[in-house]
Structure 1
Amino acid sequence: MTSSSSTVAGHCDAAFDPVAEAFAENFARGDEVGASCAVVVDGRLVVDLWGGSTDHGGPAWQADTIVNMMSVAKGVAALVVHMLVERDLLDLDRPAAGYWPELAANGKETVLVRHVLAHTAGLEVLDEPLWPGAVYDWNAMIGAIEAQAPLHEPGTHPAYHTVTMSFLVGELVRRVTGKTYGRVLRELVTGPLDLDYHVGLSLPHHHRCARFLRWAGYNEPGKDADGPSELLVRAWAQFDPARDDGYNSEQFRLAEIPGVNGHGNARAVARLYGELARPDQKLIAGERLDVATTAQWAEREPVLGHDYRMGLGFTLNSPDAYMGPSPNAFGHVGAGGSTGLADPDARIGFSYGMNQMHPHRDNGPRARRLLDALYSCL
């Protein structure tokens, strides 16, 4: 298959040819620079496609190319937390300060572990933003969160913790395991499943990264008529995209920011969610996954301004997180369009990952075309 800008490569079972056609159409429309798409059905990889280039005018996207998939990482982080709950290392209904005593300061003693996962902890932004680039100083970010007072009573007000969730989850994981989040992720999830997905990407893998082509209007004011909320601007204030080369720097890739900078490709994420979609999956007990994917709220939250249905760390199929026709689909989308989801009804794992951000804050038309094509095959 060819498009005006690239050769689309990979494999697609004949029964799923409409997915390959939709993938090529995204390029033909001029919507893509580089991307990958994968589908797992009943544990079998039936679609594994990639195409385009790793940068404008850059080398071709390869089978092993990986890219920053942004908040797709939050669904993966949720899985890690629930696996630790299953091991009795965390309790959803215990105050987070029971594991992290310093967190109790300034009225946070009532923040439960479930509030962290459900984006209701009241810690969506820092009142006093740290210096640009502070996001790479784990201790500085943890200290700022410890000093922060909740912006509202914990458990009462949904607000997407776009960056702070990374440090809340990561520090809880560290406190109960004595290990960094990235190491626990490898031990529990990516290692056992042999997934090419990384939080804290080691240097030998950096040459495989596609360049992430950011849309400045996502979190910078004054760049677009559909500008970000003040809360979203504040949430990202600890990054320095100019110095950080638009989330492509060595320090960004090396860092562990559990809800933001997972690097992988569609094949890895679809295989993960394909496993979770199986009734006999081995990662986590079915009843625990049912708890994880039970809706905690369904409304428009103020940070992204999105109409979301939120589980305990997993985004559920929502108007602004499109996951096909199944109301039971769950996963997470990432800024710019990347998507990972499980549909337990159809036993499907799906993922789409790209390097050019879609200039809106939902997962956009490219993922929708692919999902609509996928479900037309069933």
Structure 2
Amino acid sequence: MDEIGASLTVIAKGAAVVDVWGGVTAPGGSAWTRDTLNVVYSCTKAATALCVHLLAARGAVDLDAPLTTMWPELRAAQEGGTIRMMLDHTIGLPALREPVKPDAVTDASYMIARLEREEPFWEPGSRQGYHALTFGFLLGEVVARVSGRSLGAFFRDEIATPLGLDFHIGLPEAAERRVAPVFPYRPAKGEPDSAFMAAAKTPGMATNLFVFNSGDWASRAVNTRGGREAEIGAAGGIANGRALASMFAALLDGGGRIGLNRDIVAGFSTASAVTHRDEVLRVPTRFGPGFMLSMDNRHAGRGGEGLIIGRSAFGHVGMGGSLGFADPEAGLAFGYSMNRLGAGLLLNRRGQSLVDSTYRCLGYRTTAPGFWAR
């Protein structure tokens, strides 16, 4: 059985046509309910990106201006880095080289200080490599410096509360009882390594440093109160399928309810960084400014870890298979979360099958172009 507990919401043409949940919070545990929450990992990046875009819409930041004025201490800023490079994973800080302390990921001040001193792995803007954990600390610091509020507080006040989202970057204690614990993926005996896992076993590579030099949050603290209350803007968001779908549904009409506009949202579908081999994930990737776009990696083996959505769709996958996205062309918003992780950092067969069924129900017929088409 692939699932322990899960939730799925599909919003089409303004109506929730699917809003289901089921299973249990843990083997032998309580039933998964309408309001059960779980860690949605990198789906959090989309929420963090929206905070930055909202500040840009207000004129508080310029995504393409040199970072040196705002954040002169950041070595990557001194080498030409911009906020847009943070958003599309090209700024060159996907990992830290020197060993980190076990609780590094729950100590934002520590991570910021380390990132400020880190020499970029490449000239900012010249390559693309997935910033699996550093993304949130970099952009969270931008939000804090500009707004005077922490990332979690800004997201709560400016996006989650106005939209009525049960989505938290930094979980309040009152919501603890509703959170289902995470159960990690266990590869089958003899299962071949993906390109990502092969790179993770190669000392010195950015992939290896990300996997083995990120402290103990993913392996231990993610299921603790301390791990859930920490504001981890790249991976620590806690939500459910309804919250993910509802956040993306608010962008289908241009994002006016949170102060965005159609021109800004249209840019989310535009690829600003594309590569045949991501420096961390080691597969082809396509990113807009803070969002994943359709990336058809079926040729890459092991089920083709990637994401196949519509041509104009944008969203984000979370490690193990959670997913939220919007497709303006289809009038579609989608949210899926679960607590038994699947393989990989991108979308696996389990989540992709739900996406595929959704598009078929809307009259889409083929993924031959690398995205769902009618």
Give the TM-score category using the shorter length. Answer: 0.7 to 0.9
Question: For the Cα contact (< 8 Å) 2:26–2:180, is it kept in 1?
Answer: yes
| CA positional deviation for 1:233 | 3.7
Aligned partners of 1:243 and 1:70: how far apart in 2?
13
- Give 1:201-212 correspondences, 5 Å limit: 201-212=171-182
The reply on whether 1:357 has 2:325 as its aligned counterpart is no
In the alignment, what sits opposite 1:313?
290
Q: Structure 1's 216 and 137: CA in aligned 2 closer, same or farther, altered over 3 A?
A: farther
Higher deviation after alignment, 273-282 or 42-51: 273-282
In the alignment, what sits opposite 1:90?
61
Q: Structure 1's 184 and 216: CA in aligned 2 closer, same or farther, altered over 3 A?
A: farther
Q: Structure 1's 332 and 228: CA in aligned 2 closer, same or farther, altered over 3 A?
A: farther
Aligned partners of 1:107 and 1:209: how far apart in 2?
38
Among candidates 307, 310, 330, match of residue 322 of structure 1: 307
In the alignment, what sits opposite 2:268?
292
Q: Structure 1's 241 and 200: CA in aligned 2 closer, same or farther, altered over 3 A?
A: closer
Counterpart residue type for residue 167 of structure 1: F
- Give 1:1-378 correspondences, 5 Å limit: 30-103=1-74, 105=75, 108-215=78-185, 225-226=193-194, 227=197, 229-230=199-200, 231-236=206-211, 237-241=213-217, 244-245=220-221, 247-279=222-254, 281-283=256-258, 284-299=260-275, 300-319=277-296, 320-324=305-309, 326-378=310-362
Aligned partners of 1:113 and 1:288: how far apart in 2?
15
| CA positional deviation for 1:358 | 0.7
| CA positional deviation for 1:302 | 2.3
Aligned partners of 1:242 and 1:177: how far apart in 2?
29
In the alignment, what sits opposite 1:5?
none
Counterpart residue type for residue 347 of structure 1: G
| CA positional deviation for 1:96 | 2.2
| CA positional deviation for 1:243 | 7.2
| CA positional deviation for 1:306 | 2.9
Per the normalisation by structure 1, the TM-score is 0.86
Question: For the Cα contact (< 8 Å) 1:107–1:149, is it kept in 2?
Answer: no
Q: Kindly provide the CA deviation profile for residues 92-131 of structure 1, in whole angstroms up to 9, marking residues without a partner as x.
A: 111223212211x377341111111010001111121311
In the alignment, what sits opposite 2:365?
none
Q: Kindly provide the CA deviation profile for residues 121-154 of structure 1, in whole angstroms up to 9, marking residues without a partner as x.
A: 0111112131121112221111100111111100
| CA positional deviation for 1:224 | 6.7
Counterpart residue type for residue 317 of structure 2: V
Question: For the Cα contact (< 8 Å) 1:43–1:278, is it kept in 2?
Answer: no
Question: For the Cα contact (< 8 Å) 1:126–1:145, is it kept in 2?
Answer: yes
In the alignment, what sits opposite 1:18?
none
Per the normalisation by structure 2, the TM-score is 0.87
Question: For the Cα contact (< 8 Å) 1:96–1:113, is it kept in 2?
Answer: yes
| CA positional deviation for 1:361 | 3.3
For residue 276 of structure 1, give the secondary structure of its aligned residue in structure 2: coil
Counterpart residue type for residue 243 of structure 2: A
Counterpart residue type for residue 311 of structure 1: G
Question: Taking every aligned residue pair, what percent have the same amino acid on both sides?
Answer: 37
In the alignment, what sits opposite 1:16?
none
Question: For the Cα contact (< 8 Å) 1:123–1:161, is it kept in 2?
Answer: yes
Aligned partners of 2:149 and 2:218: how far apart in 1?
31
| CA positional deviation for 1:179 | 0.5
Question: For the Cα contact (< 8 Å) 1:309–1:317, is it kept in 2?
Answer: yes
Q: CA RMSD in A?
A: 2.0
Counterpart residue type for residue 101 of structure 1: P
Q: Structure 1's 186 and 106: CA in aligned 2 closer, same or farther, altered over 3 A?
A: closer
Aligned partners of 1:169 and 1:163: how far apart in 2?
11
Structure 2: 5+ residue stretches without partners: 201-205, 297-304, 363-374
For residue 315 of structure 1, give the secondary structure of its aligned residue in structure 2: coil
Question: For the Cα contact (< 8 Å) 1:65–1:208, is it kept in 2?
Answer: yes
| CA positional deviation for 1:360 | 3.0
